[in-house]
Amino acid sequence: MSATVARAGEEIVAEACGVSMRFAASGRMLHALEDVSLVVHAGEVLGLVGESGSGKSTLGRCLLRLLQPSGGAVRICGHDITTWPERRLRPLRAGMTLVFQDPWSALNPRMTARRLIEEPLRLHVPMNRVARRDAVEALAKRVHLAPTQLDRYPTELSGGQLQRVCIARAIATSPRLIVLDEPTSSLDLSVRAGILELLAELRAETGAAMLFITHDLATLRLIADRIIVLYLGRVVEEGTTTQVLDAPAHPYTQALLSAHLPSDPERRVTRIRLTGEIPSPIDRPQGCPFVTRCPLAGPRCAATVPPLQEVMPAHRAACLRVTDGNHQIIG
């Protein structure tokens, strides 16, 4: 069952239904994702947040079918592509693209920016050489790259310019879905702001659905419409950006937010310090995945996997304490 009901008049571009992903590791099973569901609508930015190792990148790759899920289903524009072979997936590849975290390692250092942007057009779009040249120049202009930068190699471009090349490649084939895997984490603050402005422009122009993967909650406030919080491969909270960031319901989300400095230096923040380490995805705790670190955990939490429960319309959290109103670490 989908984690979110489609809103009236909005097309669902991508959907994960109860997706699980397991990998063999030293003779045991590593549970990277467990029963994860989400939908991404046309023209929407869905933020996916969590600590390193929470399963964010794995989920993005499952949604693009770069990984085949161990369980559940993935749908793109209504097509269940969960078990499609690569030959059948190839015609869809132009419609779903990925922007990597590190532009330095994502781009071939032997190719100029022009050839890098041209590559997806050569692979997926039937057009002659002149048309491709014009399309590359139009894409460069769209992502605010100067014409003189097109004939430079990656080593001659800055990090922000390289990420613009990556984004130009990602939008070259007019995709319906773009997965952005921490696209600003390796950039300094001023460059990061420019990339976020560019993504907002492209979202408005193209109507593409975007899954924005990050560990930075402040970035999501600027760009995301909705947020899903992952912990140890499970969805622990979902809602609109305002709901999740201004009224977090799950204790884990509350702890994450307390670790971020507010933009207002006068605002007082009470830090919630979690004890212990994130459990291994090979040896997961029984019951709630957060039970070993949660200050509010009780006996029920160690025995039951909590379902997502409605806190308010469109806002849900996987915490047993939601029903009795005792889910706030700081009252």
The pLDDT tens digits for 8-21 are 347 999 999 999 99
CA angle 173, 178, 184 (to 5 degrees): 115
CA distances from 125 to 67, 69, 148, 149 (A): 25, 29, 25, 23
CA distances from 26 to 29, 30, 33, 58, 294 (A): 8, 9, 18, 19, 29
How far the first Cα of the chain sits from its last, in Å, is 33
Take residue 60 and report the two structure tokens written for it.
């993005």
| pLDDT computed for residue 134 by the predictor | 96
- The 8-class DSSP code of residue 145 comes to -
| Cα 159 → chain centroid | 21
| pLDDT computed for residue 27 by the predictor | 85
- Which residues are paired to 316 by β-bridges? 238, 310
pLDDT at 331 over 70: no
| pLDDT computed for residue 136 by the predictor | 96
Q: pLDDT for 258-279, tens place per residue? A: 876 565 566 666 777 777 778 8
Dihedral, 209, 243, 310, 82 alpha carbons, nearest 10: 20
> What percent of the chain has a predicted confidence (pLDDT) above 90?
68
Q: Which amino acid is at 202?
A: L
- How far apart (Å, rounded) are the C-alpha atoms in residues 12 and 171? 19
| pLDDT computed for residue 234 by the predictor | 96
Say which residue, 3 or 22, is predicted with more confidence: 22
Residue 311, Ramachandran bin (φ over 0: left; ψ between -120 and 50: alpha; else beta): alpha
Q: Which amino acid is at 56?
A: K
Give the 3-state secondary structure of residue 214.
strand
- How far apart (Å, rounded) are the C-alpha atoms in residues 158 and 146? 13
Say which residue, 159 or 69, is predicted with more confidence: 69
Dihedral, 196, 198, 204, 207 alpha carbons, nearest 10: -90
Q: Are 199 and 209 within 8 A, CB to CB? A: no
Q: pLDDT for 53-82, tens place per residue? A: 899 999 999 999 999 999 999 999 999 999
Q: Are 308 and 322 within 8 A, CB to CB? A: no
Give the 3-state secondary structure of residue 147.
helix
pLDDT at 167 over 50: yes
E-assigned strand segments in the chain = 12-25, 28-41, 45-49, 71-76, 79-80, 96-99, 177-181, 209-214, 226-231, 234-240, 309-312, 315-317
| pLDDT computed for residue 1 by the predictor | 34
DSSP letter for each residue of 14-45: EEEEEEEEEEEETTEEEEEEEEEEEEEETT-E
pLDDT at 187 over 90: no
Take residue 1 and report the two structure tokens written for it.
């069952």
Q: Are 231 and 53 within 8 A, CB to CB? A: no
Mean of all residue pLDDT scores within the chain: 89
Candidate ranges 150-154, 268-272, 278-282; pick with highest mean pLDDT: 150-154
- Which residues are paired to 75 by β-bridges? 15, 80
| Residue whose entry in the numeric block shows the structure tokens 């571009």 | 13
| pLDDT computed for residue 246 by the predictor | 92
| pLDDT computed for residue 268 by the predictor | 66
Say which residue, 272 or 251, is predicted with more confidence: 251
